[in-house]
Amino acid sequence: MESRMSKLGQQSLSGVSVELESVLHRYGESIAVDRVDLQINPGELVALLGPSGCGKTTLLRIVAGLITQTGGTVRIGGQQVDRLAPNERGAGIVFQSYALFPHMTVEKNVGYGLRARGASEREVNQTVHEMLEMVQMDAYARRYPRELSGGQQQRVALARTLAVHPRVLLLDEPFAALDKNLRLDMQIEIRRIQRELGITTLIVTHDQDEAMSMADRIAVMNAGVLEQFDSPEAVYDRPATRFVAGFVGTANMIEGLLVPRADGMYEFQESEGQARLAIRHPGPCSRPGSVLFAARPEHLAIEPVEAGGVYRVDGLMARVEMVLPLGPSLVYELSRQDAPGIKVVVPRTHGVPRIAVGDQVVARVRDGSPVSVFAD
Ligand SMILES: Nc1ncnc2c1ncn2[C@@H]1O[C@H](COP(=O)(O)OP(=O)(O)OP(=O)(O)O)[C@@H](O)[C@H]1O
């Protein structure tokens, strides 16, 4: 197994850089990709993540050479490829709809690209065998695509693309047609193969969990613009824009004012309601003034407020509307007077005070938790 993989690794040229410089694409008057800069390292797996219509597929097709961009430059392995045809770029693409040749067996499908390039029968047979073994489909070599499940067809499509040893692997929503369990298997499988081959990979997805679990870095796109390009952790904990904060994961978003305090910390004062929150590190904006505050549900903590107790303004006063035990966590849905509701998630460990529906609570930023403040 190991020697087979190391051989494949050598054949795959293991990883080249992919650079996009100010890439712009218009369809008629409308801008689909708006001056995107992206530097992908050799061997990296990058997810292009964003809502439907944000331009991810257009960008992937530009890298593949299937669309000629309106402006900007693409480099693969340091070489400008803008004038090269798709088959001269060394980029292999796997589509959502596997696009296997229906009248060819699995082995003929996988060997197709090599045969078209005039490889010897011996080389074709050897590579087909290696590729089918890698995607664990060697037992199905003689079958036709119609005799395979969706997941199996997807594996064959991947083997067919990898058989010609592309320098870059491009995956366009490759798991969209698969059910949840199969999707997870394929995500793990592709990650394993990608790591073993060290092949630079770009995957288009609108599924944030998929991007978070597979990618080394995530490029979040919105309306043609690259909003953030960072590690999954950074995109989640330190969203660069309010779009990213809202699109990736869940965020409590509250409008208000950011005010510096004498002790070097900041205070967030809610515009509606009476809430004040102490913030140690506001990011990305620490300019005093009108802001949007965003906190993940697990970055807030809640405490019960005694009935008739002193009214405290340092925190978000709320009433518990719902408590959902979700595996290892408790999810609290909280309502507030004259202000938007909030969501808080706490680990279900011993020592968590019993808080029930109808209780009054105060929510504060959990010590050391990242929260985000965006300029208005
Ligand atoms: N051939 C085309 N002609 C005109 N407009 C197009 C064409 N292809 C895409 N568009 C538009 O360009 C924008 C970006 O489309 P693109 O397919 O790149 O988005 P996407 O993020 O991949 O979306 P999805 O997740 O729905 O596939 C969309 O507004 C789309 O309607």
Calculate how far, in angstroms, residue 24's C-alpha sits from the geometric centre of ligand 1: 13
Complex ipTM tops 0.90 = yes
According to CATH, the superfamily of the domain at 2-239 is: P-loop containing nucleotide triphosphate hydrolases (3.40.50.300)
Query: Judging by DSSP bridges, how do beta strands 266-270 and 329-336 pair with one another?
Result: unpaired
pTM: 0.88
d(CA 369, CA 376): 22
- Among 29, 36, 57, 243, say which to mutate for ligand 1: greatest number of ligand atoms within 8 Å of CB: 57
CA atoms within 13 A on the CB side of 293: 33
Calculate how far, in angstroms, residue 249's C-alpha sits from the geometric centre of ligand 1: 24
Do the domains 2-239 and 250-375 sit in the same CATH topology, yes or no? no
Question: From atom 16 of ligand 1, which residue's Cα is the shortest distance away?
Answer: 55
The answer to whether 286 and 362 have CB atoms below 8 angstroms apart is no
Domain boundary assignment for the chain: 2-239, 250-375
Query: Judging by DSSP bridges, how do beta strands 225-230 and 276-279 pair with one another?
Result: unpaired
CB of 57 closer than 6 A to ligand 1? yes
pLDDT per residue as tens, the chain (376 positions)? 444 444 443 444 468 999 999 999 999 999 999 999 999 999 999 999 999 999 999 999 999 999 999 999 999 999 999 999 998 999 999 987 768 999 999 999 999 999 998 999 999 999 999 999 988 899 999 999 999 988 889 889 999 999 999 999 999 998 887 778 788 888 888 899 899 999 999 999 999 999 999 999 999 999 999 999 999 999 999 999 999 999 999 999 999 999 999 998 899 998 866 688 888 878 788 888 999 999 999 999 998 887 665 555 578 889 999 999 888 889 999 999 878 899 999 988 766 657 889 999 999 988 888 889 998 7
Strand partners, 320: 334
According to CATH, the superfamily of the domain at 250-375 is: Nucleic acid-binding proteins (2.40.50.140)
The answer to whether 361 and 303 have CB atoms below 8 angstroms apart is yes
**Residue 105: closest CA among 127, 123, 128, 126:** 128
